[in-house]
Chain A
Amino acid sequence: MGIEVNGRKVEWVKNETVKYLLRRMRYTFPLVVVKINDKIIPRKDFSDVIVPDNSKVAVIHMISGG
């Protein structure tokens, strides 16, 4: 049992939401884009979506400037 976050193997925690996973990973950036198994997770759903076991999570940090 385990998940992959940005290519790093991490322990899977039952019933953990995206919000708590980001907290556990210490991803404290204010703005991130999160994909789980290639599906984009809207920011408003971070507190509701549960991270499934064996999933691949990608977190991208958005930085101002353009």
Chain B
Amino acid sequence: MVKNMNLEKSEKIKKKLGRSSVGIAGLGGLGSNAAVALARAGIGKMILVDFDIVEKKNLTRQYYFLDQIGKLKVDALRENLEKINPEIIIETYNLKLEKNSMEKPFIDVDVVIEALDRAEIKAAFIEESLSKLPDKHVVAASGVAGYGNSDRIVTKRLGNLYMCYDEHALSSDDDVLMAPRVALMANWEANLALEIILGEDKWALK
């Protein structure tokens, strides 16, 4: 009996996630790892935005492989996601997000994940997407650099903004970026995206 209930619940979740879409701004350590987690979880559609190519130094934390060095990140990540789930619908934009049009690729997604690197561009992206897409849920991260101190990370919710946040972390200009903490925050962002998407059905799914 219990087994059947669980099956029903997981079918409902699968269905809901399969119909949902997530946009990811930036495909570095945060974005590439969040995308992989969401592909495995069963998100039906992803919009991926980055302007960069894969470099050897990225492999310390980003979800790419040696034989992908020199490829566009949007293409390399698409390959990796399709190896996990070939049915996922992926839209890619090989472009640099510029002020005044940053929200454009994400107009139709259910949740936007901010996965950019520089503090200034992060702040600008959050500001623009929240003000131009007031009904959109935006997940962001601040304070990924360093190692250890997992317990300092918290979720801060401000209206439609969900921040994965360690206010005591140093800037990546002054501290190392390493796989465990970057992937921790990337998965934290992905987990928040699932919570937002499934949230409205939380009780119905129980």
**One of A8-16, A37-45, A47-55 at the interface:** A37-45
Q: A63-B170, A66-B30 in contact; A31/B143 too (CB < 8 A)? A: no
A64 within 8 A of B: yes
Residues of chain B contacted by A42 (CB below 8 angstroms): 127, 131
B172 proximal to A (CB < 8 A): yes
Across the interface, which residues of A come within 8 angstroms of B156, CB to CB? 58, 60
User: Is A62 part of the binding interface, using a Cβ–Cβ cutoff of 8 Å?
Assistant: yes
Chain B residues near A (Cβ < 8 Å): 26, 28-31, 115-120, 122-124, 126-127, 130-131, 141-145, 156, 158-159, 161, 163, 165-167, 169-173, 175, 177, 182
13 CB contacts below 8 A, A to B, read A30-B119, A38-B159, A40-B127, A40-B161, A63-B119, A63-B170, A63-B171, A64-B117, A64-B171, A65-B144, A65-B182, A66-B30, A66-B182
A positions within 8 Å CB-CB of B: 30-33, 35, 38, 40, 42-43, 58, 60-66
Q: Do the beta carbons of A66 and B143 come within 8 Å of each other?
A: no
A22 to chain B, nearest CB (A): 13
Query: Are A66 and B29 touching (Cβ within 8 A)?
Result: yes
Chain A residues in 8 Å Cβ range of B169: 63, 65
Known: A33-B126, A40-B127, A43-B127. A62 touches B119 (CB 8 A): yes
CA distance A43 to B122 in the complex (A): 13
Chain A residue numbers with a CB within 8 Å of B118 are: 64
**A31 to B169 CA separation, bound complex (whole angstroms):** 14
Instruction: Give chain B nearest CB distance to A51 CB in angstroms.
Output: 16
How close is A41's CB to chain B, nearest CB, in angstroms? 8
Q: What is the bound-complex CA distance between A30 and B142, given in angstroms?
A: 14
Contacts of B120 in A (CB 8 A): 31, 62
Q: Flag if B123 contacts A33 (CB, 8 Å).
A: yes
Q: What is the minimal beta-carbon distance from A37 to any residue of chain B, in angstroms?
A: 9
